[in-house]
Amino acid sequence: MPTRILGIETSCDETAASVVEDGVKVLSNVISSQVELHARYGGVVPEVASRQHVLQICPGIEKALEDAGTRFDELDAVAVTSGPGLAGSLLVGLNAAKAIAFALDIPLLGINHLEGHIFAAWLNSQREEEGPDPSADPGFPLVCLIASGGHTDLVLMEGYGEYQLLGRTRDDAAGEAFDKAARILGLGFPGGPEIQRKSAGVHHAEQLPRSWLKGSQDFSFSGIKTALLRRAQQSGIYPPDESQVEDSDRLIGEMASAFQESVVDVLVYKTLEAADMVGAKGVILGGGVAANALLRQEMKRQSSLPALIPPPVLCTDNGAMIAASGYYHYTRGRGDSLDLDVNPGLSL
Ligand code: KG4
Ligand code: ZN
């Protein structure tokens, strides 16, 4: 009998639920995004997010089961993000998961959101008719880049559940930098997809700087952001509402493209440098920024190692990655007690 795990994710502004079979096969993936609600504020408002999760959580879970053709009593366990994230948002998912685990008498598994982003790499990798996809399993050690709105972590993974932090951002997370850059350029929220869209097919002559932080595996993105701000001010693009600049659309496209290239350059170079240093057999990309088309393309082009990059919909927050990580813990007999608390500052 296959193992079916319900994964629930409510750490930030997506209410997500998914049923995954045997840790790899995504039977359903329901994501209710709150982007439009938060867009008018230019970022996620925690109080608004929690209340929206309350509205979306039950319909989301029911839809995930329906799409998966699975009844509640066919679930083997429920996995839920317990941290890191916004406390009030995490609590909604955790309490829903507790209710389900209690009612069905199945294991409750509190999952680290960052581990979830890593496990997304193996989702849907099992091509049953041909056997496992060899590129999906290069073996350990692996170097994982988790680049999201809250994190930019380079992690050495020596085995399932064995993580060592190699480096992290010293200031803004890569996704946060995309979001701030988009705000500078008068583009929408979240900024990553907007910057990508504005950069498509654009050639930029002027480069923005890169922070290499040589000799360290850490990242820094605030310098690139400040350089962008300065250039936007000089050209009259910023502040956006006051700009009456001729040809502003072209200028914004060029600045977006230069910004995207700088961030991607640093992410790819430092990930591959770290992989080389530790003798990794492959690299994993995860987190919302891994949905970026240029990053995906450049990582695949420049890496001589297999690069495991989930499809974009599994890079941004989703319940399937939580179920996948849950499966790993479930097979090791783990189960959390019903007094499990959220941990907003949890690290790997
Ligand atoms: O992992 P995620 O969905 O949520 C967090 O855990 O933070 O990541 C969200 C972040 C946002 O900052 C968003 O701008 C960024 O991922 N992002 C992108 C793209 N899609 C989402 N950044 C660059 N390019 C994209 N296509
Ligand atoms: Zn995330």
Q: Where along the chain do its domains lie?
A: 4-125+313-330, 137-310
Residue nearest to atom 19 of ligand 1 (CA): 192
Write down the pLDDT at residue 41: 87
172: tokens are 């803004």
What gap in Å lies between CA 308 and CA 310, rounded to an integer? 7
In the CATH scheme, what is the homologous superfamily, with its name and number, of domain 4-125+313-330?
ATPase, nucleotide binding domain (3.30.420.40)
Residues of the chain with pLDDT under 70: 126-136, 241-243
* Residue 67 Ramachandran class (φ > 0 left, ψ -120 to 50 alpha, else beta): alpha
What are the pLDDT digits (tens) for 315-348?
A: 999 999 999 999 999 999 999 999 999 999 999 9
**Pocket-testing residue among 11, 111, 144, 148, ligand 1, by greatest number of atoms within 8 A of Cβ:** 148
* Distant-in-sequence, close-in-space partners of 217: CB < 8 Å, separation ≥ 6: 154, 166, 167, 270, 273, 274
Among the listed residues 114, 115, 99, 19, the one whose alpha carbon sits nearest the alpha carbon of residue 67? 19
Write down the pLDDT at residue 128: 47
Peptide bond into 209 cis (omega under 30): no
- Closest approach atom of ligand 1 to CA 148: 8
77-83 sheet: strands from edge to edge: 25-33, 14-21, 4-9, 77-83, 108-112
Write down the pLDDT at residue 134: 58
CATH architecture of 137-310: 2-Layer Sandwich (3.30)
Measuring from each residue's beta carbon to the nearest atom of ligand 1, which residues come in under 6 Å? 12, 148-150, 175-176, 178-179, 190-193, 196, 287-289, 291-292, 316-317
Do the domains at 4-125+313-330 and 137-310 have one common CATH topology? yes
- Closest approach atom of ligand 1 to CA 117: 1
